[in-house]
Structure 1
Amino acid sequence: MVKIRIKDVKVKSIAVPIRGKLLRVAGEHPGRNVFTLVEIITDEGVTGYGETGGGGFSLAPLIEKLKDQLIGEDAFNIRKLKWKIASPITATYYNQLLPQIWFPIETALLDIKGKALGVSISNLLGGQLKDSIEVSAYIFPTKDTETVEDLVTNAEMIVRRYGFTSIKLKTGVFKPEHEIDVVKALAEKFPHARFRIDPNGAWNLSQAINAAKSLNGIRIEYFEDPVWTMEGLRAFKQATGYTVATNTVATRFEDVPNVFLRGAVDVILGDPHWWYGIYGYLELSATLWSLGLELGMHSPSETGIALAAMLHSAAVTQNLGYAIDTHYIYLEDDIIKKPLNIENGKIKVPIEPGLGVEIDESQIEKYENFYRETGDYPYQGQKDIVTIPKLKFRNCKCHV
């Protein structure tokens, strides 16, 4: 059998501006996202791309040091390369960075394999169950939407523009009563919409339970990490009866038995970034299916490269029962030639070979330069001290 060998690996750091200074529990977003791109070049001239990002820091320095472990290897033998790069013993030192290091490498390898064989990644993985993927409206407050009315107006514009029917509201920024009023106002505007509430664990148990009871009668899909700890989530779930999702207390395969045995959550929000790539996400899917837990998809933020990988993951996963999250609507620009289109709340899964998106090298160069000018940033706002549960919420103009 002919083998396609890895000839070279290029790692690049880019920064892409986003629309607005988004507010979240960790403070004010600096207005750009940092991404790490991996380009794998083979001796047959087939090139694959992958991407990771979301935390404010480039992972290029770490991935650069792995190049020698990849060059010369068979690009088709993805399983061997995973255990060469991402063995559990390595996770002892890299912890949650390791899956984010592996994800862009695996994506690039799958891109190569799909292109070489003339099939899309989802067909490479056995075939699409869905040809389009529902996505949620990811609504953040900003410095320009510090009243309920302003935030609802902005959210309404987003929902109507893209046709969303699932609305995710980033909370834990203002006082709970402010955010409760936002959900109620949005529910009046969109009575048939489904809502997911995500305070990033900022509320204490009392605040979380009071918020949940205040929203009785509204179509709540789930509360995502309403409190921080696993025992707190179990207590919230028991007290309110609401569906509970997490991407904090279950972020590794070792966590899954614990949340299952404690009955702490119903939905684990996996994603290829944090769960060892597309194959890892499929392994998580099978694990949760066997335990009777549900599967969603979290978004750390992504350009069209990683979003395409997320779409392929979602397309082949039979037990993904919820719209996936994405920050894509906030990017001011993209590094693929034809940005992915959200219509009627859904994105079509690419069908061309590999990832199915065409890279725009001039855009990569542009945003490499922007990264050089602006650099990395801490995920937590530089002026913010963030306690969990949160002791001080941002002042708004409508709740004294």
Structure 2
Amino acid sequence: MTIADIRATTVTVPLEAPLRHSMGAHWGRFVRTIVEIVDDEGRSGWGELGGGGESAENAVRSLLPYLKGHDPLQLEQLRWKIMNPTASLYNNRTQLHAAIEMACMDLAGKRLGVRACDLLGGAVRERIPFAAYIFYRYGDEATGAGGETAPDEIVAHAQDLKRRYGFTTHKLKGGHFAPDHDVEVMRALAQAFPDDLLRLDPNGAWSVEQAIRVGHAIEGLKNEYFEDPTWGLEGMRRVRQFVRIPTATNTVVVNFEQLAQSIRHDLVDVVLLDTTFWGGLRQAHKAGTVLETFQYGASVHSSGELGIQLASMLHLGAALPNLGSAADAHYHHLTDDIIVGGKMAYRDGMIDLPKGPGLGVEVDRAKLAEYAELYKAVGGYAYDRDPGRPGWFSTIPEMHYADPALKTAHVGSRR
């Protein structure tokens, strides 16, 4: 079993409604690059990374001359071939490696008849819990969904998600409006879900002082953790000094150098591990074992995944003994998927670990072609541009300006 071909296809899959965040908005769809590795016996293994287009596809395909003939089971060799630290300093290959590694673990699992998590040591759980990922949303005329900005609207949205999927943890993607608006929403969620856990994540948009003030305002709620309230390891350290809520990050601890600093200096309590940002499923799992050793929390981060990456997240969550918090997933915002059988199902706020070999999912080639054509028709989008705020751009920390229409304040700057 050796690599014979590497293929890449950009797709875009619609969301129920555009998602607003501190840096702008997801424009009602996710753009992903689907990676297919074909071995010399005709098997296909699948991987996925964020973004897409000709440059991303060419970057993936350009690895074929380098990896042709490589044994997909030789995963440590693969890491050094693609993600050698010196090479990655000048050529950011982390997410490329993540997608290639996913596909190789899928291939190896299929060849051996074992699951991807079995290549990490096996599963300690067969169902992985997830949190409701709650965004302020623009309305979508086609689906009739979205339009939530006020606290009562967010609560109604969260109640609908709980009814449909069974979530018992609710994460608000804050930072889009002024901090006081997020505080008001968090208090409304706490009142509506007195038995459930809460999280607030403004994506590092606030100053340390703003973050401390918000942290104090919500300390009495049933908070699981306070995620990326400010930017940088030093900023997180300062917030942690003054706020009595466990802190978490997925933005400032995304490699082993940062993890070492965070642990040595006691900077962050919980690290959300991403199977693409960390460079692959194996690297994320390795980081989880380091966190276990030093008694820090681990969870699973979401980066706008389709079913292939979600499968990798499930295998990570299954293999982490110290998965102390429900995983994140944008997945419930999608209207469809590219895997055979359609979207994976939630039961009681959890998703079952796939049973098949490798990642346990297979790509529906008709769906892959359909959403590749949709990408060609509508194109990509600029991640940090907000269609509702022409000329706006984000700054850190954010500044506020009044918006009479919303009777609150946006954050960011105007041109």
Give the TM bin, normalised by the shorter chain. Answer: over 0.9
In the TM superposition, what is the alpha-carbon distance from 1:394 to its structure 2 partner? 7.4
Compare 74-83 and 366-375 and name the one that shifted more. 74-83
Give the Cα separation in 2 of the matches to 1:335 and 1:55: 15
CA-CA distance at 1:398 after TM superposition: 4.4
Counterpart in 2 of 1:132?
A: 127
- Letter matched to residue 397 of structure 1: L
CA contact (8 A) 2:168 2:349 kept: yes
**Which residue of structure 2 aligns with residue 348 of structure 1?**
352
2:101 to 106, 112, 120: 106
Percentage of matched positions with identical amino acids: 39
* Equivalent residue pairs, number: 395
Q: Which residue of 2 aligns with 1:23?
A: 20
1:81 equivalent in structure 2: 78
Among candidates 207, 223, 226, match of residue 226 of structure 2: 223
Is contact 2:10–2:52 with CA below 8 Å preserved after alignment? Answer: no
Are 1:57 and 1:376, in contact at CA under 8 Å, matched by a contact in 2? no
Instruction: State whether residues 171 and 198 of structure 1, in contact with CA within 8 Å, keep that contact through their aligned partners in structure 2.
Output: yes
Find the aligned partners of 2:400 and 2:55 in 1 and give their Cα distance. Answer: 30
The answer to whether the aligner puts 1:164 opposite 2:161 as a matched pair is: no
Q: CA deviation at 1:216?
A: 2.9
Contact 1:35 1:58 in 2 (8 A): no
**Who is 1:263 aligned against?**
266
193-202 vs 251-260, which deviates more?
251-260
Deviations along 1:270-303, one digit per CA (max 9) or x if unpaired, are: 1111112111011101222223322121111111
The CA deviation at 1:46 is 1.7
Q: Which amino acid aligns with 1:392?
A: H
In 2, distance between residues paired with 1:23 and 1:394?
Answer: 18
| One-letter identity of the residue aligned with 2:4 | K
State the Cα distance separating 1:58 from its structure 2 match.
6.6
Distance 1:326 1:351 in 2: 20
Identify the residue that residue 397 of structure 2 maps to in structure 1.
389
2:153 aligned partner, one-letter code: D
| C-alpha distance in structure 1 between counterparts of 2:270 and 2:111, whole Å | 36
**58-67 vs 296-305, which moves further:** 58-67
1:9 aligned to 2:6? yes
- Tell me the equivalent position of 1:273: 276
Confirm whether residue 245 of structure 1 aligns to residue 245 of structure 2. Answer: no
Partner of 1:352, secondary structure, is coil
* Alignment partner of 1:68 out of 65, 68, 72: 65
Tell me the secondary structure at the aligned position of residue 160 of structure 1. helix
The farther-off stretch of 259-268 and 180-189 is 259-268
| Cα separation, partners in 2 of 1:354 and 1:393, compared to 1, 3 Å | farther
Residues of 1 paired with 2:95 and 2:402: CA distance? 31
* Cα distance in 1 for residues equivalent to 2:27 and 2:315: 30
Q: Would the aligned equivalents of 1:272 and 1:281 in 2 still touch at CA under 8 Å?
A: yes
AA at the equivalent of 2:112: L
SS of the residue 1:35 aligns to:
strand
Structure 2 SS opposite 1:369: helix
* Paired position in structure 1 for 2:305: 302
Question: What is the SS of the residue equivalent to 2:291?
Answer: helix
The runs of 5 or more residues in structure 2 that have no matched partner are 139-146, 410-415
Give the letter aligned to residue 379 of structure 2: G
Please, which runs of 5 or more residues in structure 1 have no aligned partner?
Answer: none
Alpha-carbon distance change, 264 to 111 in structure 1, aligned in 2, over 3 angstroms: same
1:196 aligned to 194, 199, 207, which one? 199
SS in 2 for 1:140: strand
- Tell me how far apart the structure 2 counterparts of residues 219 and 177 of structure 1 sit (CA, whole Å): 18
1:54 to partner: Cα distance: 5.6
CA distance in 2, matches of 1:21, 1:276: 28
Q: How much has 1:207 moved relative to structure 2?
A: 2.0
Query: What does residue 185 of structure 1 align with?
Result: 188
Residue matched to 1:119: 114
Of 32, 37, 50, the residue aligned with 1:35 is 32
Whether the 8 Å contact between 2:10 and 2:375 is mirrored in structure 1 is yes
* TM-score for the superposition, normalised by structure 2: 0.91
CA apart distance, 1:81: 1.8
SS of alignment partner, residue 121 of structure 2: coil
Taking a change above 3 Å as real, the CA distance of residues 235 and 53 of structure 1, as seen in their structure-2 partners, is same
Q: CA RMSD in A?
A: 1.8
Residues in 1 aligned to 2:350 and 2:193: alpha-carbon distance in whole angstroms: 18
- Please tell me whether the aligned partners of residues 106 and 358 of structure 2 are also in contact (alpha carbons under 8 angstroms): yes
Contact preservation (8 Å) 1:54, 1:301: no
